[in-house]
Structure 1
């Protein structure tokens, strides 16, 4: 780890000013950033510890939803009574994402901003356009077992590794952001993360000096909420494929199907056409297959991860069939 300066701003205004400086980064729980600093993937000259600036509360919104403070821990979020009662898909996603020790330190804002776990990104001796633009993507012709099959580019095929954001995408949450000039803006979580395109180093829409202050959940909906994570071992591991689903049924037909997928792309994958294909249809194998056809129409494997294409189809069946029974 390289030497760095360390400061503890006390206000959001001070924090955004510090983070706007070249070579400066914000740190909260540090569960991702410190690992990357040890590997010299991230080499900030200055760290701004933002734990004193507030934004650690979980509060009801006037619209009937829930505001999750960016500095609230994953543990506090997952066990919050309203999250467990009204947004169980989120609680389940968080609990599947990491050990108790990590959840006790990891924050909601940091969770959204975590970086990929691609072997070529975290190994500075390997080519990676995300870490070293123009050096190439070693994963395309290399070790790609965990990598993306949707939304890839010739520059990068890495996946977003998180679980929480997949559930937030199914819930259609939004991200509240403080800007460096003292203003605020809100971004739908479905638009917060970026696809690689020609700029794989840009993983989200945060600009220089911007800091997440909260995640806002809409008013709760009915139906059945499920989060299923397919991984190589039963202990904590990154998803090969994950599915977050919010499903409602009436008279044996889908009336609501909000779906998001993890492990398939550079961002949590939400394609509204997948859910739309289910609305008004019975939960038959044929119906689910048609939805999977839409999801996977542009899927492309890279050898080692070809298995993800049929696995995503099976995962969708495994989620929707019991969800439909529970919502019926």
Structure 2
């Protein structure tokens, strides 16, 4: 059986469409676990109404504790051999159960596509290859491997290794979860099948003003470094270090965009500049900015930011983000 875990908070506008897409596309034995994370709109009543007419659907109501806690609640209550996470505002467009039929018992992790982008139908990869894919250092597959949607996780593997979402994070929790999976799973398979439709929305945490984004990124970089600081072969370690450096650059970008330079942050220009300066003087940001790192996997805007920070042109970085925010309005 497959357990589908859907965390939802104030999803009255889209939760029914998401559930319907699963019911319409999937055949076989499955359960849908909807974790209502303290919604204040009509989400709870909509979900309860749907569940009354379908025994495959279970609703868990809890106080608002965040998406990571809601997903962990889903994992704990799941009865299936496989767990698939679906965001409440996304849609399923293919039969994942049929795709999972015949998957060997040695496989702990399966990734699906959101569109067909390769000529092959199936590709088996080892732990090291999966880790590099999750970190975005390989790019050999072409799938979005740092997110948890469009993936299937063997529940026994998650439980036996105590793999859960970090509930202190609101950004980067998916990637950290998949890093843990990559470090512990035996073998992974990539299936070039379209089963998921990701729908970008403005309600995403990446678009919101986050007053504690710096603390989030400090926790994230610490947790990543703690996991990936162990011994690997020289070639793999170099690739991992390259990706960690890229992540730290991205963390600076996130803090600037979500906090320091966000339009809802009413700080004066000089105050923004000082906060950024103080951040860059802290580790690990200071070391990454001051040394020459491989920026191949960093986009051009982040490269420009890193170059300006290396020259200590903090005001120029603030000005760059303020222009960016004005244009994106």
Both structures adopt the same fold (TM-score exceeding 0.5): no
TM-score, structure 2 as length reference = 0.30
TM-score, structure 1 as length reference = 0.30
Structure showing greater Rg: 2
